[in-house]
Amino acid sequence: MIALTLLALTDYLVDRGQARTAIPDLDEAERIVNKIYPDDHPAHARVHRSRALLLVALGDNVGGEKEIQKAVELYRKALPRETEELADLLNAQADVFFYSGRLAEAEKVAREALALHRSLRHGRKDHLADCMGNLARILSARNQFEEAQKISGEALRLMQEWYGGDHPVVARSLEAVANVFCFHGDGKEGEKQARLALAMWRRLGAKEHAGLAYSLFLVGWSLNLQKRWKEALDYLEPSLEMYRKVSAEGGPGLSMPLSDLGVSYANLGRLAEAADCLEESLAIRRRRMPKDSNYLALAILNLATLRERQKEYAKSASMAWEALETLRAGRAKGDFKVQYAIELQLRNLGRQAKAGVDVRPGLHRLQGFARELLPEKHRARVEIQRRLRAEAAKRQ
């Protein structure tokens, strides 16, 4: 009983951005579980789950993946039946995959978790809503907006009916809806939902809280999407400051406001400050994410685009190739980042062509990425082919 209480306290502290504070409680819980229970008891799965979420909160995504995999395997072996705890474990595993940028794996596991939650006759509705919001976020990141919007809207309605007023679960459901709109590029509607979530966290008395930091980030992101760069700073800067307090070890959340702050600063002409933010964001993702992570690719692309604005074209081109290799390794076929990277590299190659460089090897290399990662008639593939013909004609 003491071990379960310590695990619950660990999860509570991690959820509120106090992961480092939770380490002694988790270590003590693990000591008790190891002493009392046999190796195949499901209590060990609970320890691995809490350890996974704590590691992700501290930025160790790879360690988090290993721990959550142990938890799922242990639980399936100990209790080979469908239960709410298994559904929660799968949802946590999907969350870990999401923060690692393993979106295909995250979607697969999140769908399994949601199907299991829906099949339970007496399952907790807040757990169901959390699972739905998680799947919606993953689907948004994979450009499946119609389904994501439907699921996140259903989760929000469910929680509003269940809780009736201000509650952290309702606030998180509002964030899930805002996230979908922002991923879809609808900054106006994303701002509306993000501001509702932010206001709710404030009414709930949140001060230095991961939920409040995330809502601030969402408002800033939505304003960036509307090109309201200066106004976005009023939300992204405090979001970053708060994330530094609640995710002091360079957790995945910290890279989000850093990335969008870099975008804001760049568009306001504050290129040195933009570089500081984007370099730190990329450094976090290089340390904490697998080499085939979509989010790592995005961080590389953001900095490559800034290097282009700084007229550091060789660095921009080198980073664009790295981003494309990362997207290929992550099997990111059809992802918007592929088009973004190819268009950036086309601009870099265009400048080289004007300087008299034979860019046909670069165009052929780019064509290989485009054939592998973009639809057959995509405009970027057509443009690469057009340029190859033009370069061939120029050298006849």
Is residue 384, in this structure, part of any structural domain at all? yes
Is residue 306, in this structure, part of any structural domain at all? yes
Q: What is the dihedral of CA 142, 146, 148, 150, to 10 degrees?
A: -170
> Could you give the CA distance from residue 263 to residue 265 in angstroms, rounded to a whole number?
6
106 pLDDT more than 90: yes
- One DSSP character per residue, 210-234 reads HHHHHHHHHHHHHHHHTT-HHHHHH
Per the CB < 8 A criterion, the answer to whether 52 and 67 are in contact is yes
Higher local confidence (pLDDT), 245 or 59: 245
Is residue 66, in this structure, part of any structural domain at all? yes
pLDDT digits (tens, 9 = 90+) for 292-312: 888 899 999 999 999 999 999
Per the CB < 8 A criterion, the answer to whether 93 and 87 are in contact is no
> Could you give the CA distance from residue 59 to residue 37 in angstroms, rounded to a whole number?
30
> Could you give the CA distance from residue 97 to residue 103 in angstroms, rounded to a whole number?
7
Is residue 58, in this structure, part of any structural domain at all? yes
Q: Which of 67, 84, 109 is the last residue of a domain?
A: 109
Q: Which residue has the tokens 């979509």?
A: 294
| pLDDT band at residue 1 under the 50/70/90 scheme | low
Is residue 55, in this structure, part of any structural domain at all? yes
Higher local confidence (pLDDT), 277 or 143: 277
> Could you give the CA distance from residue 96 to residue 102 in angstroms, rounded to a whole number?
9
Percent of the chain clearing pLDDT 70 (strictly above): 97
In this structure, of 60-64, 87-91, 224-228, the range with the lowest mean pLDDT score is 60-64
At 250 the pLDDT is 55
Q: Which of 46, 79, 109 is the last residue of a domain?
A: 109
Report the domain count for the chain: 2
Is residue 95, in this structure, part of any structural domain at all? yes
Residue 298: both structure tokens together? 């995005």
At 80 the pLDDT is 65
At 243 the pLDDT is 87
395 by Cβ neighbours in 10 Å (0-12 / 13-18 / 19+) ranks as exposed
Domain enclosing residue 305, as ranges: 291-396
Per the CB < 8 A criterion, the answer to whether 174 and 199 are in contact is no
124 pLDDT more than 90: no
pLDDT digits (tens, 9 = 90+) for 209-225: 888 999 999 999 999 99
Mean pLDDT of 239-268: 85
- One DSSP character per residue, 133-202 reads HHHHHHHHHTT-HHHHHHHHHHHHHHHHHHH-S--HHHHHHHHHHHHHHHHTT-HHHHHHHHHHHHHHHH
Mean pLDDT of 132-142: 87
At 312 the pLDDT is 96
Is residue 96, in this structure, part of any structural domain at all? yes
Is residue 135, in this structure, part of any structural domain at all? no
313 pLDDT more than 90: yes
At 17 the pLDDT is 63
> Could you give the CA distance from residue 133 to residue 13 in angstroms, rounded to a whole number?
21
Mean pLDDT of 322-349: 90
Mean pLDDT of 164-191: 90
Q: Which of 109, 127, 159 is the last residue of a domain?
A: 109
At 249 the pLDDT is 54
At 208 the pLDDT is 76
Whichever domain contains 102, its CATH number is: 1.25.40.10
Q: What is the dihedral of CA 241, 246, 250, 255, to 10 degrees?
A: -50
In this structure, of 38-42, 182-186, 318-322, 349-353, the range with the lowest mean pLDDT score is 38-42
Percent of the chain clearing pLDDT 90 (strictly above): 47
At 248 the pLDDT is 52
Higher local confidence (pLDDT), 376 or 12: 376
Q: What are phi and psi of 8, to 5 degrees?
A: -65, -40
> Could you give the CA distance from residue 281 to residue 311 in angstroms, rounded to a whole number?
21
